[in-house]
Amino acid sequence: MVRKNIFSLKPYKSARLLHNNINNNTILLNANESPIISLFSLNKKTFNKYPEPQSRELINFYSKYVNLNYKNILVTRGADEGIDIIMRTFCDPVKEKILFCPPTYDMYRVNAEILNIKYIMINSLNNWELNINFIKKNLYNIKIIFICHPNNPTGNCINKNNIIKLLELVKNKIIIVIDEAYIEFCINKTLVNLIDKYHNLIILRTLSKAFGLAGLRCGFILTNSKIINILQKVIAPYPIPNPVIDIAIQALYPKNLIIMKNNVKKIINNKKWLINNLKNYKIIKKIFYSETNFVLIKFFNSHYIFKELYKKKIIVRNQNHENRLKNCLRITIGTFNECKKLIFELKKLSC
């Protein structure tokens, strides 16, 4: 009775699904979560009534944060729900396709396969930039192009001029979705200011990364008001629970935005320290430039490194399944003590 495409689906392997036997002593550097705990308490204590379909208060707070009109914002269950409803809204599975550029976030593929939407993968260039010329030749029946910026798992930002070239190339014909899940780590690279100019541009945001609220599952779609109105037809009636709305609003208070920005600085400093200490290790072939809260590292033997770190209760993300990321591990930047522990273990393996 199961649809054929679901029966043969290769699901997304979440960090918790891959490693569910963890304990309190395990250092988790595999899910790009913030290592800094955000402490909040619920203001609302009763939950017998449904929440607002779209909390005006939460949207107003986020509107001030991103400097965008409230009419241009939709709240979602993480950025992942944004990916899903955009595909369900715009793609006709019979004749239309999506396009994305590996190596990149695998949920674009997974969502397309769940919805039985065909997809085209145009590999990024060797410097992880968009292959604009090749994309241009493969736009037939493409309805949506997904671009992760900064990109997961490579950590780089996409050149803004290349994104603008693509927006100009497909103007009013194809939806361009820019996934800015990690943008707070390089906020000057955001493309929010292009929303008024390009009506086919959609930007995804989340509170999971820099805000340290991955357990909240709260994301945002930023785009022109006409697209927001259409997406509201498709999204679930009450997508965001009242406890999520409550904590998300608190996270966007001015005093808590200052804390978030200071936490981002701490994580970036930890990343710089970690990379500087890893530069001359014999086990490492290449450290890729990162503008995020993680770093992609190519080892000479990633399987051995992964296994040895695992024994020491340090879990990182193996990227060896990607053709172009053989022997690569993606490592989330942890606390300074977690970074020191990682350095200590890698130094022993490098001797």
* Parallel, antiparallel or unpaired: strands 175-179 and 201-206: parallel
Residues 215-251: tens digit of each pLDDT = 999 999 999 999 999 999 999 999 999 999 999 999 9
Provide the pLDDT confidence category of residue 50 given band limits of 50, 70 and 90. Answer: very high
Alpha-carbon distance of 216 to 240, in angstroms, equals 10
Sorted by sequence, the CB contacts under 8 Å of residue 332 that are 6+ apart come out as 28, 29, 30, 31, 32, 33, 35, 293, 294, 316, 317
316 has a pLDDT exceeding 70: yes
% of the chain exceeding 70 in pLDDT: 99
Provide the pLDDT confidence category of residue 21 given band limits of 50, 70 and 90. Answer: low
**Domains of the chain in sequence order:** 12-37+256-350 (3.90.1150.10), 56-253 (3.40.640.10)
Name the token pair of 63.
């509107």
Dihedrals phi, psi of 53, to nearest 5 degrees: -55, -40
Output the CA torsion 68→74→77→81 (10° steps).
-110
- Which of 16-25, 134-143, 315-324 is predicted least confidently? 16-25
Provide the pLDDT confidence category of residue 12 given band limits of 50, 70 and 90. Answer: confident
Residues 318-334: tens digit of each pLDDT = 999 998 999 999 999 99
pTM for this model (two decimals): 0.96
